[in-house]
Amino acid sequence: MKLLVVESPAKAKTINKYLGSDYEVIASFGHIRDLPAKDGSVEPDNDFAMKWEIEGRGAKQVSEIARAVKGAEKLILATDPDREGEAISWHVLEALNQKKVLKGIPVERVTFNAVTKDAVQKALANPRAIDQALVDAYLARRALDYLVGFTLSPVLWRKLPGARSAGRVQSVALRLVCDREREIEAFRAREYWSLVATLATESGQTFEARLVGADGKKIARLDIGNEAEAKAFKEALESALFTVAEVEAKPVKRHPQPPFQTSTLQQEASRKLGLAPARTMQLAQRLYEGVDIGGETVGLITYMRTDGVDMDGSAIAAARRVIGKEFGEKYVPNAPRKYTVKAKNAQEAHEAIRPTDLGRLPAMVARHLEPEQAKLYELIWKRTIASQMESAEMERTTVDIAAKVGARHLDLRASGQVVLFDGFLTLYQESRDDEEDEDSKKLPAMKAGDKLEKRAIAADQHFTEPPPRFSEASLVKRMEELGIGRPSTYAATLSTLRDREYVRIEKKRLVPEDKGMLVTAFLESFFGRYVEFDFTANLEENLDRVSNAEIDWKALLRQFWEEFTASIGETKDLRVGDVLEALNGILGDYIFPPKADGSDPRVCPNCGNGQLSLKLGKFGAFVGCSNYPECRYTRPLSVPAAEGEASAEGGQGTPGVRILGTDPVTNLEVTLRDGRFGPYIQLGEGEKPKRSSLPKGMSPASVTLEKALALLSLPREVAKHPESGEPILVGIGRYGPYVQHGKVYANIDKDDDVLELGANRAIDLIVAKESGGGRGGRAAATPGRALGDHPDGGALEVKAGRYGPYVAWGKIFATLPKAMAPESITLEQAIELVNAKAEAKGGAKGKAKAAGAAKAKAPAKKAPAKKAPAKKATGEKAEKAPAKSKAKAASG
């Protein structure tokens, strides 16, 4: 018996079907060891010794692998074909050596780029040893991320209250977002005008031409800067005679883009499908590991973490066959296309992301996939096929037009483009965040000397616009251009920025929160080198050199650590005043934007002579008056207060207060305040004023008096219960928005607006909760998504608990690993999770007990049995079952 170890149960299940009874396939469930999230896990003074820890599921999987390896004739490590996969195999081998269970058993390392029978068998025929250079690069990266996070984060906590953490890649990505925000804040719109003439040929066909020159001088887009100039040009054009001066028709070709690599897949999936990078990678992982297609489990795409853009020769040949069959031979180029990686620091030389079988058309597999999986597969298939198709052929026409009025000579230009042969465009066209509109209209036939008739002259006013905020897709693209991070880190980095509440997403754009702006400004001021783009990119290059066995990984760490600790040491005597002075300078335009009337934006609107500046309080930063304590004016950073707004109480150690207006019913003042647990609304003053938290996702800057009064009116009645006739209330509690009927509470979904929730939706939530059999109060869990039945009986559901998503089977509740999305978990994965939890709780007895509880909980399909069904597990237990995961300070 040969033992083959992979990282995921889904991959194990797929491969197990390809191999015979001579093999046992076991999953490690990703990394089995990690650095404990505490000081001392990496020891620079001990030659960077690293203390790995096995706990939880890792311990169980190591024991399982150790049990299986004792009777095996060979151990085959078959984790993913990248740096992270190499590290997982290394960890497994190290753990087994510590248990001393190998005892001469040969160990082989195999890799395959696709989970197909041919690829797996070919890999097994060509084993190798673990690539120590790749492992060293992993160790260096892991140590760097740990040392930066656990050394820099405490400095942030001491010097900048409210900050959460810093990271080697995370902080540089955050700087990109914050730099863009400062560009937007500093941007000043510029007025400009365009002159467009609608002209007609002798045959009566009309087209538009733009003014591009006057009296021998070119006119650029911003050159006409006011209405007077525009009117003067318009008057001249109104009486001008128009003649075609020159016509140029130029053939052009447009070539297809290469097949997807990780970053371009994330960008296109975001733009075309609206998927976040993390979700894209979850779906791609499932397509890679294997999907049941009509009774056959097969990996549908090649490995999805890659910098490569070329394809295997057999795949190129298959693509050309599909193109000829589906689109015709004229769409097949004479020679296959070859693509090369442009990035200087490209990582492992993998193939691009492509379907494992290009003859498997999207329509053939769509019925076997979930909707999002099907869309992503179709996107990958189209991009792959298009990359080998013939170029599109176009004709781009430019017509220069002379306009003469008296002694003046004005120049206009019209442009158009027509597609002569669509080529790859018949299947696929790449979208871009910053894509400019391209004039694809066909111009009427003209030749030099033709007279043209004026139909209309338009002078339009425009204003320049600030650079757009980054979307997740455009940020990934920019990070890739700068050489920051790696394909496997982009999605995790973006998730970390959101989890730390350094950024939020509004209208699919990344908006920095105040704390994100403060952390970036602090790091730029006192650790500038470590958030420089070139420094981070050069460090990534050196890590790649480690993976190529060009430099020693510990030598790299020693050089970095010596300089880094020196920078940390320079901040020991840093005073709060120094921090405030630096932040006030960097964030001046952000905190104190210019006023419309041109007055000093730093003058206190309360006392009139004090100067506003950034202050640091116990719970974070705020803006306060220099005349404290005589003037107690405060406000949050990014919510500029109007003239005369001031806090009614508190001092410069309290969070900001913004006056929203007066309640027309009570005549009490309504204020927005920044409290210890986040922003909230308060009505009036006194010992116990009425308050309301802001719902999660509602920006303080968007709160108006109307919204505030609506929040203060909660809880409010929205409906009557269809059976009892008692009121159903909607409100905001400790755990977020809810609806309530008597002692039954139901959480409101994140997509529901607590202020807009209607009667029908409220009744649906309460009835669903009551029919689920939960106890009174906030006990019962929200209804979950049914996954199917356990082999031992009883239904499996995935639910959202207070501490994260989990799988429920009777009285067994198994928390989902962070890398596993509740939307994409399969029945097989759920069974693995609950079985592991049941065995941990009592082995075979625990599993049997869980099965009995699940069967008893399921609704009876036949006549009721004489014995009463077992009491259902309450939602309270369900919600409390998953353990809350540890928070980690360090993040790459």
Contact 520, 172 (CB under 8 A): no
Residue 622 near residue 615 (C-beta atoms within 8 A): yes
Does residue 696 surpass a pLDDT of 80? no
Decide if pLDDT at 818 tops 90. no
Nearest one of 782, 791, 892 to 835, comparing CA atoms: 791
Q: Where are the alpha helices (DSSP H) in 662-819?
A: 705-712, 759-771
Whole-number pLDDT of residue 773 = 43
pLDDT surpasses 90 at 508: no
Predicted pLDDT at 348: 45
Find the Cα–Cα–Cα–Cα dihedral 87, 91, 94, 96, rounded to 10°. Answer: -140
303 is catalytic: yes
Strands, E, within 734-877: which ranges? Answer: 736-741, 744-747, 785-789, 795-801, 804-809, 812-815
Q: Between 160 and 668, whose confidence is greater?
A: 668
CA of residue 745 relative to chain centroid, distance: 32
Ordered by start, the domain boundaries in the chain are: 2-130, 163-187+469-565, 191-255+393-463, 262-390, 592-712, 716-771, 785-880
Q: pLDDT, tens digit, for every residue of 749-779?
A: 766 778 877 777 788 788 878 776 433 333 3
**How many whole angstroms separate alpha carbon 602 and alpha carbon 613?**
7
Interior CA angle at 95 toward 90 and 101, to 5°?
A: 115
Q: How far apart are CA 237 and CA 224, in angstroms?
A: 15
pLDDT at residue 638, as a whole number = 63
Report helix angle 277-289 to 472-482, nearest 10: 80
**Residue 864 pLDDT exceeds 90:** no
pLDDT in the model for residue 642: 38
Asked whether residue 217 carries a pLDDT value surpassing 80, the answer given is: yes
Q: What is the mean pLDDT of residues 573-600?
A: 79
Among 564-568, 800-804, 827-831, where is mean pLDDT lowest?
800-804
Beta partners for 620? 617
Phi and psi torsions of 275, nearest 5°: -95, 135
Between the alpha carbon of residue 107 and those of residues 8, 77, 97, 799, the distances in Å are 20, 7, 11, 40
Under DSSP, is residue 722 helix (H, G, I), strand (E, B) or coil? coil
For the entire predicted model, the pTM comes to 0.69
Same fold, 2-130 and 262-390: no
Query: Which DSSP letter does residue 356 get?
Result: S
Q: Which residue in the list 303, 428, 745, 806 is annotated as catalytic?
A: 303
Asked whether 71 and 1 are in contact (CB, 8 A), the reply is yes
Please give the share of the chain, as a percent, with pLDDT higher than 90.
38
Report the pLDDT averaged over residues 190-200: 95
Tokens of 341: 């990686």
pLDDT of residue 112 exceeding 70? yes
- Angle CA 659–664–666, to nearest 5: 90
More confident residue, 633 or 475: 475
Q: What is the mean pLDDT of the chain?
A: 83
- Average pLDDT over every residue of 722-739: 84
User: What band does 162 get if pLDDT is binned at 50, 70 and 90?
Assistant: low
Cα separations in angstroms, 405 against 237, 238, 240, 819 = 7, 9, 5, 70
- Whether 391 has a pLDDT exceeding 60, the answer reads yes
In which band, very low, low, confident or very high, does the pLDDT at 327 lie, cut at 50, 70 and 90?
A: very high
**Is the pLDDT at 193 greater than 70, yes or no?**
yes
Q: Answer whether CATH 2.70.20.10 is correct for domain 191-255+393-463.
A: yes
If one compares 88 and 864, the residue with the highest pLDDT of the two is: 88
Tokens standing for residue 854: 């699940």
Look at residue 717 and give its three-state secondary structure.
strand
Q: What is the predicted pLDDT for the residue at 651?
A: 41
Place of tokens 């008056």: 625
Q: What is the mean pLDDT of residues 678-686?
A: 82
State mean pLDDT over 124-137: 94
pLDDT band at 671 (very low <50, low <70, confident <90, very high): confident
| Contact of 331 with 423, CB cutoff 8 Å | yes
pLDDT at 735 over 90: no
Question: For domain 2-130, which CATH number applies: 3.50.50.60, 3.40.50.1110, 3.20.20.10, 3.40.50.140?
Answer: 3.40.50.140
* Cβ-based neighbours of 863, under 8 Å, separated by 6 or more: none
Dist. CA 87–CA 322, nearest whole Å: 38
Sign of the alpha-carbon torsion through 445, 446, 450, 451: positive
SS3 state at 293? strand
Weakest-pLDDT range from 501-510, 587-596, 680-689, 774-783 = 774-783
Residue 649 has pLDDT above 70, yes or no: no
**What's the confidence (pLDDT) of residue 326?**
95
Reported as a pLDDT band with limits 50, 70 and 90, residue 242 is: very high
Superfamily covering domain 163-187+469-565: Topoisomerase I, domain 2 (1.10.460.10)
Which CATH number applies to 262-390: 1.10.290.10, 3.20.20.120, 3.10.420.10, 3.30.2130.10? 1.10.290.10
Q: Is the peptide bond before 355 cis (omega within 30 degrees of 0)?
A: no
Confidence band of 822 (pLDDT split at 50, 70, 90): confident
Q: How far is 664 from 388, CA to CA, in rounded Å?
A: 68
Instruction: Give me the numbers of helices (H) and strands (E) for the chain, helices first please.
Output: 23, 32
| Pairwise pLDDT comparison (253 vs 846), residue with the higher score | 253
**Where is 137: in which H helix or E strand?**
helix 132-159
Q: Long-range contacts: 51-58, Cβ < 8 Å, 24+? A: 52/91, 52/94, 54/95, 57/29, 57/817, 57/836, 58/29, 58/31, 58/32, 58/33, 58/34
Q: What does the angle CA 782 – CA 788 – CA 794 come to, to the nearest 5 degrees?
A: 85
pLDDT value, residue 412: 97
867: pLDDT strictly greater than 50: no
Q: Return the top range by mean pLDDT from 432-436, 455-459, 678-682.
A: 455-459
What is the arithmetic mean of pLDDT over 719-728?
86
